[in-house]
A and B are shown apart, each in its own frame.
Chain A
Amino acid sequence: MIVIILSSVAIIIEETEHPLYYWLNFYDIYIVTTIFIIEYLLRLWVYVDRRKIVIEEFENSVFLESRFNTKRVLLKIWRKTLQYIFSPFAIIDLLAILPAYRELRILRIFVLFRAFKIFRYSKNLVEFLDVLTSKRTELTMLFFLVLFIVFISGASLYVFEAKTNPNVHSLLDAFYWSFVTISTVGYGDITPTSNEARIFTVIIILAGLGLISFFTSIIVSSFTEKIDEIKESKVLSKVEQLNDFYLICGYSHLAELVAQKLKSEKREFVIIEQDPKKYESIQKRSYLAIKEDASKREVLERINLKNRVKAVMCLAQDDIHNIFIALNIRSLSKSIPIISRTFNKNSYKKLKLAGVDYIVSPYETAGLIASKILSQPIAIEAVINILSKKKNAVCDETEVLKNSFLENIRIKDIDLDKYKLILLGVRRIDENGKKFHFNPSGNFILKSGDLLIIMGYSISVSHFKSLVIESSLTHARKKR
């Protein structure tokens, strides 16, 4: 849309100097205008929800047991339509359509109104306008002050010099001069000649300097006030574009490590943290972050968790807050997996009650590792390496896809050695629930839906996974 608008403005600029090609003229008059008309009508149509008004009115009449008043409904719709037609944006839209009527030359100036239509499509410009409107009182004050000074000084110049200065023909000239002077532009096409007027001019220039700095300070201060909001809305609009991301609530040291991991694996994630200091350190790392309290309902509602968030991690610095966040998420969605950190052993049960699916405790982890590190140091080291991907060896899960070469096959026939992989076990879900079959015998027959837990170098693992997917797809294609 922005391209259409810019092209239209470019055409009119071109037209002032050169005659137009026929097709350009055709494009400008018919195509652009048609698109604008369609847009205008569609917006008008969408703005007034006729059906809703009719239904509402009908229900009211049923409720009050009065007759359905068609006239009133039509009037209501008409009023609503008018309301749209006279809204500023609608007027701009309409003015942008008008220049199609080329015979009225004066209307051509309205082509430039097409440029104003860009406002509709550019969020940055809208934000700028928002900032200005937030300072409406100050700006109006300034406007009247300017008006006042221009009036006084213009009138004074006229009185002083109307007779003696050949450049001052009318009161309009005097006002024009006064505005050029106080804005510190000073073209110099009209200059005061008498001593009285010059002294007076010095005063006006001083006043002008004051006004300019006043104006600048209003704009600057309103931007500094709004900058956080603008940044936040930027983040929110980025978050809106995301699909399938993780949500990290609370930016603790643990959260930082998780974020690093997610980043290195190129996963999308959003952090919610209310502490300004921590928020700053998140921004330094240029992660997507919202400066809010994750235990507030409206915050999560704005993000629109459903079907977009893959999992939520509650990693705040204390259990109470984590429980609050978990409850908050559960109140919005029953199905999103929640992982929470815990500090106190007493909180375990409470977190479970709050709806947390997995609970991670660094203390517990430490205990588990410590208990094994004496008897099996190398094995523990190996597992830590696998989990942290330090030595390029990974442990991964591969689903036995339907119709892939893995389905209905005995484990010993796969020959995982060939793929440089180790099979640790198979997880199968049957009527008895999930079960992990450790190191199943060679005669174990795989079914679709089983998860193979395999270990190997990341390159072998991803190669094997792609083979499985490919074989499943090839089969599907053959069938067709």
Chain B
Amino acid sequence: MQEKKDSILLIGYGRYGEKIAKFFSGKEFGLYIIDIDENHIQRARQNGFDKLFTIDINDDEVLASILMQENFSTVFCAMDDEETNVYFTITLKSIWDNLKIVAICESKESERKLKLAGANKVIDTMEGSANKIFHLIEKPAVIEAIEEILFLDDEIDTREVEIEKGSFLDGKYIKDINFKEEFNLILIGIIDKETGNDFVFVTRGINHKMDAGDILVLIGYKDDIYRFIKDMKESRR
């Protein structure tokens, strides 16, 4: 997923857009930025981004031509104004139905609207922040641990691994394999295609049978994950 060079379209370079752009700038993504405000685009230019477009919110043709230029894997709708964000989401979907859209919102109200407008994923930043504050005051060590694992320690990675046909995992039960002892990995959960497309935490206590196509969610050091994937690939018959 991360290996091939993807193009990402970011709509909005306001407070949200700027932060999101910053997190992508270091990675090997082709980042395109669109905004309706010339000032925002100016600031993006100063911050070192070059694929910038200022567009008129009602001019669908310009937007369509930008979408044609590049094969965008994902579009982030991150306008500061929630209404504009919903508008952009629905415009994009009307131009290209298959586009994968991740949208930012600040309330349950607009989350619903964004989902109706066709956003594939909605990030409720306020809800996220509220949860963070709650954990900070009640369980600070948990927040520290999660931040360390997800964001701070570059060596630690979470990874979704799809079980390949014929590998040593295919047909085994999750309790048969000791992920910690054998691979130094923590198995968080599984998407067991037999029971549906939902993610299930292993702590539910179900002894899932792993089949080809199921997805394991693992946390561990990058090297260990790499070794695990390699082992799995090599064990294919």
Contact = CB atoms under 8 A, between A and B. Distances in A.
Interface of A: 246, 253-254, 257-258, 260-262, 265, 267, 310-311, 313, 315, 337, 339, 341, 343, 358, 360-384, 386-388, 391, 393, 395-397, 417, 420-425, 427, 434, 436, 438-439, 441-442, 451, 453, 455-457, 460
B163 interface: no
Contacts of A363: 15-16, 18-19, 125
Contacts of A393: 201, 203
Interface string B90-115: 00000000000010101100000000
Contact of B23 (A370, A380, A417): A370
Contact of B123 (A253, A370, A376, A441): A370
Most buried by B among A376, A396, A421: A376
A377 B121 contact: yes
Given A310-B137, A367-B16, A425-B145, 17 more contacts: A257-B129, A261-B134, A362-B125, A362-B126, A366-B19, A370-B123, A372-B150, A378-B189, A386-B146, A395-B139, A395-B145, A395-B146, A422-B186, A422-B188, A427-B144, A455-B201, A457-B204
Contacts of B104: 366, 370
Nearest to B27: A371
B40 interface: no
B133 interface: yes
A371 B24 contact: yes
B219 A387 contact: no
B217 A378 contact: yes
A382 B1 contact: no
B170 interface: no
Contacts of B15: 343, 363
A366 B201 contact: no
B23 A371 contact: yes
6 contacts: A246-B137, A366-B16, A375-B1, A382-B217, A393-B203, A395-B142
Given A375-B1, A379-B188, A420-B203, A258 B20 contact: no
A322 B189 CA distance: 40
Contacts of B125: 362-363, 365-366, 369
B133 to A, nearest CB: 5
B212 interface: no
A258 B201 contact: no
Nearest to A367: B19
Contact of A382 (B24, B121, B188): B188
B20 A367 contact: yes
B203 A439 contact: no
Contact of B126 (A254, A310, A427): A254
A384 B128 contact: yes
Contacts of A257: 126-127, 129-130
A442 B219 CA distance: 16
A263 B14 CA distance: 33
A260 B15 CA distance: 26
Interface of B: 1-2, 6, 8, 15-16, 18-20, 22-24, 27, 73-74, 76, 78, 102, 104, 106-107, 121, 123, 125-139, 141-142, 144-146, 148-151, 153, 156-160, 175, 180-181, 184-189, 191, 199, 201-205, 215, 217, 219-221
A377 B175 CA distance: 25
Nearest to B189: A382
Contacts of B185: 439
Contacts of B1: 374-375
B140 to A, nearest CB: 8
A107 B111 CA distance: 75
Contacts of A315: 133
A21 B201 CA distance: 73
A413 B115 CA distance: 47
B2 A387 contact: no
A417 B179 CA distance: 12
B41 to A, nearest CB: 18
A396 B130 contact: no
B153 A397 contact: no
Contacts of B204: 420, 457
B181 A442 contact: yes
B180 A442 contact: yes
A376 B151 contact: no
Identify the 7 closest CB pairs spanning chains A and B, nearest first.
A367-B19, A371-B23, A257-B130, A379-B158, A456-B203, A362-B125, A387-B131
A378 B160 CA distance: 7
Contacts of A380: 150
B173 to A, nearest CB: 13
B212 to A, nearest CB: 18
Nearest to A424: B145
A381 B199 contact: yes
Contacts of A258: 130, 133-134
Contacts of A364: 19
